[in-house]
Structure 1
Amino acid sequence: MKPLQNIYLSLGSNLGNKFENLQQAITSIYEEIGAVIKISSVYKTPAMGFEGDDFLNCAILVQSTLSPNKIMDAILSIEKKMGRQRKKGGYTSRPIDIDILLVDAVIKESKKLTIPHPEMQNRKFVLQPLAEIAAQTDHPVFKKKIIKLLAETTDESQLEKQSKWLVNPKSDYDISAFNYIAIEGNIGAGKTSLATQIASDFNAKLILERFKDNPFLPKFYKDQQRYAFPLEMSFLADRYQQLLDDIKQFDLFKECVVADYDVYKSLIFAKVTLAEEEYILYKKLFHLMHKELPKPDVYIYLYQNTERLLENIQKRGRKYEQSIEADYLKKINQGYLEFIKNQHDNRIKVLDISELDFVKNRKDYLTVLKQIVN
């Protein structure tokens, strides 16, 4: 997964229902660009450089993996959908205006885009709301903090702070009702990608399965009959210890725990891989250990069709996984569905993501998120 960038945007509107325009733009930014982390107060400001109605302005901090050029493309698309027509030469009234101010410490100049915004230091309607959410952030060119640029600006415009606040769209996807979310699925379903994204967006404690450290895993895919039992036993011990340590030592500064597995997967995989006598012994040990572990508030099963699973496995390129056969994946999927069918538990949610790509498409990600919270 690409690293997240901090993107500071300035938003303004002086046509139509200005406040609603700002809210709509923020919602679209959340849906198409990335998580909205901070939103400033709204300020009424005079039009600058032309005769027109007063503006409502604000600044927001967004976190996204998109490149600056792709962010700009998304912004232009949002503006166009909201009725903004960018024209060369001179300023005019508009329902929405979205400008990229900063992208971390990036310095970029092209025909399409200049970062940092070349006029931000001369605009109080930009600096005042930006200072609310990024006072101690450095301007990468001037090497000064935003609060200092505000104090030094020559713009003497009078700004009027509004009492009404904009709403963060994140509230529509609020996972705060859950203390512990377990995300499950077949090999290559996207469990880790989804858990990582949710943890990042909602400041949650992330627990990832430590399968890479298991010395039996590569051997198992070469000789399943010989290495199935030591593999499943080692996984059981490691999952038990990890969940016991990480969840019981809950970080109070995190809103919840998100794991890319549930310990019950041990029993599901063991039933597929172990001989009958081995499975009976394994099951006894599992139930003894399972009693001590916290249970998730919501259990998510990501269903992918076998073709997509094989494609994902091939794309991520782990050598020891390339020999996995479709039949093995089908057995694992049947094991999960049988487990789910027998639980009669409304905490379990099966999400069919065969037609979704929540890694590359943010709207698909939000579709999945909404199904989790609803």
Structure 2
Amino acid sequence: MTEKPGSNYRYIVVEGNIGAGKTTLTEAYSRHLNAKEIYEQFVDNPFLPLFYENPDKYALQLELTFLVERFRQLKEELESSLFHNAIVADYYLKKSLIFASTTLDEADFKLYARIFHSMTGTLPEPDLVIYLHQNTEQLLQNIAHRGRTYESNISRTYLERIQKSYFRFFKQVSAFPVVVVDCQNIDFVADKAYLNKLLDIPFQRFNKGFNVYDLK
């Protein structure tokens, strides 16, 4: 299985909070690496708008539905990607645990975690995770700009809790590199210099675990 010359990672995941720019960067990596892309199909989750209106009532249904769909999609996509030099996904399967730890109470999360681990143990881990860090104000602006009605109830507090859960989780990772990119006050879509620095990340080598990458 050959890689694009110079690329050090085959299975790359772009992660970040809601509105951080994951899909935009995944599209750019797909073109740059001639890679197979995998995009989360969250718009099909019927519990998502209900959750934003009443999180306590719909959190478990939402998280279980996301888990089933993410697992099904990744299993099918990864099994059909044998002849691709690289794969880029705009989500990491274990984000399901990150979000569930924030949205579920202790009893529901214990149940959820047991289901998660029994389902997903056979899927491969990524070779590299790139995490886009944005401040909360910018996330709220990005969410408002894309105009999804069901996201209008997302609160600053919810985004901050998710952000903390991501960092808490990724600081414990030791199996692959997690590269945290500070994108605060940076528009990598408009400024090609920043985009080019992001596109160069897969061609560099990083230590396994938590890494910080400076775009400036």
Whether TM exceeds 0.5 here: the answer is: yes
AA aligned opposite 1:328: Y
CA deviation map 1:21-75 (0-9, x unaligned)? xxxxxxxxxxxxxxxxxxxxxxxxxxxxxxxxxxxxxxxxxxxxxxxxxxxxxxx
CA deviation map 1:271-304 (0-9, x unaligned)? 1101111000000111112211111010111111
CA deviation map 1:252-288 (0-9, x unaligned)? 1x32100000000000000110111100000011111
For 1:220, the equivalent position in structure 2 comes to: 51
Aligned CA distance change for structure 1 residues 316 and 359 (closer, same or farther; 3 Å): same
Tell me how far apart the structure 2 counterparts of residues 181 and 368 of structure 1 sit (CA, whole Å).
13
AA aligned opposite 1:335: S
Compute the displacement of 1:217 (Å). 0.5
Count how many residue pairs are aligned between Structure 1 and Structure 2.
Answer: 201
RMSD of aligned alpha carbons: 1.5
CA deviation map 1:326-361 (0-9, x unaligned)? 110000000000001112345111111113212222
Tell me how far apart the structure 2 counterparts of residues 264 and 346 of structure 1 sit (CA, whole Å).
13
For 1:259, the equivalent position in structure 2 comes to: 89
Q: Paired residue for 2:32, among 197, 201, 220?
A: 201
Aligned CA distance change for structure 1 residues 175 and 321 (closer, same or farther; 3 Å): farther
Identity %: 43
Q: Paired residue for 2:62, among 231, 239, 255?
A: 231
Tell me how far apart the structure 2 counterparts of residues 175 and 232 of structure 1 sit (CA, whole Å).
38
Query: Structure 2: which 5+ runs fail to align?
Result: 205-216
For 1:350, the equivalent position in structure 2 comes to: 180
Q: Secondary structure at the match of 1:285?
A: helix
Compute the displacement of 1:174 (Å). 6.2
For 2:106, the equivalent position in structure 1 comes to: 276
Aligned CA distance change for structure 1 residues 291 and 180 (closer, same or farther; 3 Å): same
Normalising by structure 2, report the TM-score: 0.89
**Contact 2:133-2:182 at 8 Å conserved across structures:** yes
The answer as to 2:11 corresponding to 1:180 is yes
Tell me how far apart the structure 2 counterparts of residues 325 and 357 of structure 1 sit (CA, whole Å).
23
Q: Trace 1:142-181 onto structure 2 (pairs within 5 A).
A: 176-181=7-12
For 1:156, the equivalent position in structure 2 comes to: none
Compute the displacement of 1:369 (Å). 2.1
Tell me how far apart the structure 1 counterparts of residues 173 and 102 of structure 2 sit (CA, whole Å).
19
**Contact 1:186-1:332 at 8 Å conserved across structures:** yes
The structure, 1 or 2, with the larger RCO (C-alpha pairs under 8 Å, 6+ apart) is 2
Normalising by structure 1, report the TM-score: 0.52
Q: Secondary structure at the match of 1:206?
A: strand
Tell me how far apart the structure 2 counterparts of residues 367 and 203 of structure 1 sit (CA, whole Å).
18
